[in-house]
Amino acid sequence: MGRLTTHVLDTASGKPAAGMKVDLHRWGEHGWKLVKKIITNDDGRADEPLLQGEECVVGHYRLMFKVGEYFQKAGSADAKKFLDHVPIDFTIADAEAHYHVPLLCSPWAYSTYRGS
């Protein structure tokens, strides 16, 4: 059964990014369409897969991480001075596979990879 999961690590503090807002969009004939909104839990993860089973279809997706708001609420003096929203665009090519898209971020930088 295919599924999409994510988690966020706050590399500035070395901890999971609890309470970060994340939006999932799917590309369609009329542009990007919002599919789901989540807020990360205490472990920096979604409580359940963002997509799973029949919801997980081949296509182009975007995860939009609201890092500026997260760092502002965390009391970072550097919040929104450089990064505000971090979009990660990716493709689900196999609807039966597990796609894990993590984000490692600070107010100044971010990275991602296809996890397992």
pTM equals 0.96
Q: Which two tokens stand for residue 27?
A: 């590309």
Q: Amino acid identity, residue 44?
A: G
Q: What is the DSSP string of 25-73?
A: EEEETTEEEEEEEEE--TTSB-SS-SEEGGG--SEEEEEEE-HHHHHHH
Domain count, the chain: 1
pLDDT tens readout for residues 18-32: 999 999 999 999 999
pLDDT tens readout for residues 83-109: 999 999 999 999 999 999 999 999 999
The enclosing domain of 51 has a CATH number of 2.60.40.180
Residue 66, domain extent: 3-112
- Is the confidence at residue 53, as pLDDT, over 90? yes
Q: How confident is the model at residue 1 (pLDDT cuts 50, 70, 90)?
A: confident
Q: How confident is the model at residue 116 (pLDDT cuts 50, 70, 90)?
A: confident
Are 115 and 9 contacting, i.e. CB atoms less than 8 angstroms apart? no
Q: What are the phi and psi torsion angles at 56 (to 5°)?
A: -85, 100
Residue 10, by phi and psi: left (phi above 0), alpha (psi -120 to 50) or beta? beta
CA distance linking residue 116 with residue 113, whole number of Å:
10
User: Nearest-CA neighbor of 59 among 39, 33, 37, 21?
Assistant: 33
Query: In this predicted structure, what is the pLDDT of residue 39?
Result: 98
